[in-house]
Amino acid sequence: MATFEQVERLKEKANVSYEDAKAALDATDGDMLEAIIYLEKNGKVAPPMGGGYYNSQDAAQPKPPAVEAAQAQKNEETIPMLLKRFFRWAIRMFNKGNRNSFEVRKNDSVIISVPVTVLVFLVIFAFWIVVPLIILGLFFGCRYVFRGPDLDGAPVNGMMDSAANAAENFKAEMTDDDK
Protein backbone atom coordinates (compact mmCIF):
# COMPACT_ATOMS: atom_id res chain seq x y z
CA MET A 1 0.00 0.00 0.00
CA ALA A 2 1.41 3.37 -1.02
CA THR A 3 1.72 6.14 1.57
CA PHE A 4 0.35 9.63 1.09
CA GLU A 5 3.90 11.06 0.90
CA GLN A 6 4.88 8.61 -1.86
CA VAL A 7 1.77 9.46 -3.88
CA GLU A 8 2.41 13.20 -3.46
CA ARG A 9 6.07 12.82 -4.48
CA LEU A 10 5.20 10.77 -7.59
CA LYS A 11 2.41 13.19 -8.46
CA GLU A 12 4.91 16.11 -8.39
CA LYS A 13 7.75 14.28 -10.17
CA ALA A 14 5.65 12.76 -12.95
CA ASN A 15 3.11 15.59 -13.22
CA VAL A 16 0.13 13.23 -13.09
CA SER A 17 -3.13 13.20 -11.17
CA TYR A 18 -3.43 11.85 -7.64
CA GLU A 19 -5.43 8.85 -8.89
CA ASP A 20 -2.84 7.95 -11.55
CA ALA A 21 0.02 8.23 -9.05
CA LYS A 22 -1.80 6.09 -6.49
CA ALA A 23 -2.72 3.45 -9.09
CA ALA A 24 0.88 3.28 -10.35
CA LEU A 25 2.30 2.92 -6.83
CA ASP A 26 -0.29 0.29 -5.90
CA ALA A 27 0.48 -1.68 -9.08
CA THR A 28 4.22 -1.62 -8.33
CA ASP A 29 4.06 -2.23 -4.56
CA GLY A 30 5.28 1.27 -3.73
CA ASP A 31 8.41 1.17 -5.91
CA MET A 32 8.85 4.74 -7.20
CA LEU A 33 11.01 3.85 -10.23
CA GLU A 34 8.73 1.03 -11.32
CA ALA A 35 5.74 3.36 -10.86
CA ILE A 36 7.28 5.89 -13.28
CA ILE A 37 7.95 3.09 -15.78
CA TYR A 38 4.37 1.92 -15.31
CA LEU A 39 3.12 5.45 -16.07
CA GLU A 40 5.32 5.62 -19.20
CA LYS A 41 3.99 2.30 -20.47
CA ASN A 42 0.42 3.46 -19.96
CA GLY A 43 1.02 6.71 -21.79
CA LYS A 44 0.52 8.95 -18.77
CA VAL A 45 4.10 10.29 -18.85
CA ALA A 46 6.44 10.95 -21.78
CA PRO A 47 9.74 9.03 -21.63
CA PRO A 48 13.00 10.90 -21.01
CA MET A 49 14.44 12.92 -23.91
CA GLY A 50 17.40 10.54 -24.32
CA GLY A 51 14.97 7.74 -25.02
CA GLY A 52 15.84 5.66 -21.99
CA TYR A 53 15.70 1.89 -21.85
CA TYR A 54 14.56 -0.51 -19.18
CA ASN A 55 14.37 -4.30 -19.08
CA SER A 56 10.64 -4.50 -18.67
CA GLN A 57 10.16 -2.59 -21.93
CA ASP A 58 8.48 -4.68 -24.63
CA ALA A 59 9.75 -3.75 -28.10
CA ALA A 60 6.76 -5.35 -29.84
CA GLN A 61 4.26 -3.35 -27.78
CA PRO A 62 2.90 -0.25 -29.55
CA LYS A 63 3.83 3.11 -28.06
CA PRO A 64 1.25 4.90 -25.95
CA PRO A 65 -0.29 8.05 -27.47
CA ALA A 66 1.49 10.40 -25.05
CA VAL A 67 4.86 8.89 -25.99
CA GLU A 68 4.15 9.17 -29.74
CA ALA A 69 3.02 12.77 -29.32
CA ALA A 70 6.16 13.68 -27.37
CA GLN A 71 8.42 12.08 -29.99
CA ALA A 72 6.54 13.74 -32.87
CA GLN A 73 6.86 17.13 -31.19
CA LYS A 74 10.59 16.55 -30.63
CA ASN A 75 11.16 15.53 -34.28
CA GLU A 76 8.94 18.23 -35.75
CA GLU A 77 10.81 21.21 -37.15
CA THR A 78 8.93 24.45 -37.42
CA ILE A 79 9.12 26.75 -40.43
CA PRO A 80 11.16 29.39 -38.57
CA MET A 81 13.65 26.69 -37.54
CA LEU A 82 13.95 25.49 -41.14
CA LEU A 83 14.35 29.06 -42.41
CA LYS A 84 17.04 29.72 -39.82
CA ARG A 85 18.93 26.58 -40.88
CA PHE A 86 18.58 27.55 -44.57
CA PHE A 87 19.88 31.08 -43.99
CA ARG A 88 22.85 29.79 -41.96
CA TRP A 89 23.67 27.42 -44.83
CA ALA A 90 23.25 30.19 -47.42
CA ILE A 91 25.58 32.51 -45.49
CA ARG A 92 28.20 29.74 -45.21
CA MET A 93 27.97 29.08 -48.96
CA PHE A 94 28.13 32.81 -49.74
CA ASN A 95 31.27 33.18 -47.62
CA LYS A 96 32.84 30.11 -49.23
CA GLY A 97 31.98 31.43 -52.68
CA ASN A 98 33.66 34.75 -51.90
CA ARG A 99 36.81 33.08 -50.55
CA ASN A 100 37.24 31.01 -53.73
CA SER A 101 37.52 32.23 -57.29
CA PHE A 102 36.98 31.09 -60.87
CA GLU A 103 39.86 31.95 -63.18
CA VAL A 104 39.92 32.12 -66.95
CA ARG A 105 43.48 31.49 -68.19
CA LYS A 106 45.10 31.68 -71.60
CA ASN A 107 48.75 30.85 -72.22
CA ASP A 108 49.38 30.47 -68.46
CA SER A 109 48.25 34.02 -67.68
CA VAL A 110 45.05 34.95 -65.87
CA ILE A 111 42.60 36.84 -68.10
CA ILE A 112 39.86 37.22 -65.50
CA SER A 113 39.23 36.03 -61.96
CA VAL A 114 35.80 36.30 -60.35
CA PRO A 115 34.47 35.00 -57.03
CA VAL A 116 32.57 31.74 -57.34
CA THR A 117 29.51 33.52 -55.96
CA VAL A 118 29.48 35.85 -58.98
CA LEU A 119 29.89 32.88 -61.34
CA VAL A 120 26.94 31.09 -59.71
CA PHE A 121 24.71 34.17 -60.06
CA LEU A 122 25.77 34.63 -63.68
CA VAL A 123 25.03 30.99 -64.50
CA ILE A 124 21.65 31.20 -62.78
CA PHE A 125 20.50 34.50 -64.28
CA ALA A 126 22.32 34.49 -67.64
CA PHE A 127 22.65 30.78 -68.34
CA TRP A 128 22.14 31.03 -72.12
CA ILE A 129 24.91 33.60 -72.39
CA VAL A 130 27.48 32.37 -69.87
CA VAL A 131 27.54 28.65 -70.67
CA PRO A 132 28.00 29.11 -74.46
CA LEU A 133 30.77 31.66 -73.76
CA ILE A 134 32.54 29.17 -71.50
CA ILE A 135 32.27 26.44 -74.13
CA LEU A 136 33.39 28.82 -76.88
CA GLY A 137 36.34 29.88 -74.74
CA LEU A 138 37.55 26.26 -74.71
CA PHE A 139 37.93 26.37 -78.49
CA PHE A 140 39.92 29.62 -78.31
CA GLY A 141 42.51 28.10 -75.96
CA CYS A 142 41.07 29.24 -72.63
CA ARG A 143 41.40 27.05 -69.58
CA TYR A 144 39.27 27.33 -66.47
CA VAL A 145 40.50 26.82 -62.90
CA PHE A 146 38.90 27.11 -59.49
CA ARG A 147 41.27 28.62 -56.90
CA GLY A 148 40.92 29.16 -53.18
CA PRO A 149 41.27 27.49 -49.82
CA ASP A 150 38.25 25.25 -50.38
CA LEU A 151 38.77 24.38 -54.05
CA ASP A 152 42.51 23.99 -54.74
CA GLY A 153 43.13 20.48 -55.99
CA ALA A 154 39.42 19.80 -56.29
CA PRO A 155 38.35 17.08 -58.74
CA VAL A 156 36.43 19.71 -60.69
CA ASN A 157 39.75 21.22 -61.84
CA GLY A 158 40.72 17.84 -63.29
CA MET A 159 37.43 17.72 -65.15
CA MET A 160 38.00 21.27 -66.44
CA ASP A 161 41.43 20.22 -67.76
CA SER A 162 39.87 17.17 -69.42
CA ALA A 163 37.26 19.36 -71.12
CA ALA A 164 39.97 21.78 -72.32
CA ASN A 165 42.07 18.86 -73.64
CA ALA A 166 39.04 17.41 -75.42
CA ALA A 167 38.36 20.78 -77.05
CA GLU A 168 42.02 21.01 -78.13
CA ASN A 169 41.89 17.47 -79.56
CA PHE A 170 38.66 18.23 -81.40
CA LYS A 171 40.17 21.41 -82.81
CA ALA A 172 43.29 19.50 -83.92
CA GLU A 173 41.18 16.81 -85.60
CA MET A 174 39.13 19.42 -87.42
CA THR A 175 42.22 21.21 -88.73
CA ASP A 176 43.82 17.89 -89.79
CA ASP A 177 40.66 16.93 -91.70
CA ASP A 178 40.75 20.26 -93.56
CA LYS A 179 44.24 19.56 -94.91
pLDDT averaged per 10 residues in sequence order, the chain, 179 residues? 84 87 87 87 78 54 61 70 92 93 92 94 95 92 90 80 89 78
Nearest residue to 41 (alpha-carbon basis) of 30, 57, 25, 23: 57
Confirm whether pTM is higher than 0.85.
Answer: no
- In this prediction, residue 5 carries a pLDDT of 87
pLDDT computed for residue 62 by the predictor? 58
Annotate the chain with three-state secondary structure: CCCHHHHHHHHHHHCCCHHHHHHHHHHCCCCHHHHHHHHHHCCCCCCCCCCCCCCCCCCCCCCCHHHHHHHHHHHCCCHHHHHHHHHHHHHHHHHHHHHCEEEEEECCEEEEEEEHHHHHHHHHHCHHHHHHHHHHHHHCCCEEEEECCCCCCCHHHHHHHHHHHHHHHHHHHHHHHHC
Give the other-Cβ count within 10 Å of 121's Cβ: 14
pLDDT of residue 75: 62
- What domains sit in the chain, N to C, each tagged with a CATH number? 4-75 (1.10.8), 100-178 (no CATH)
Q: Are strands 109-115 and 101-106 parallel, antiparallel or unpaired?
A: antiparallel
pLDDT of residue 40: 86
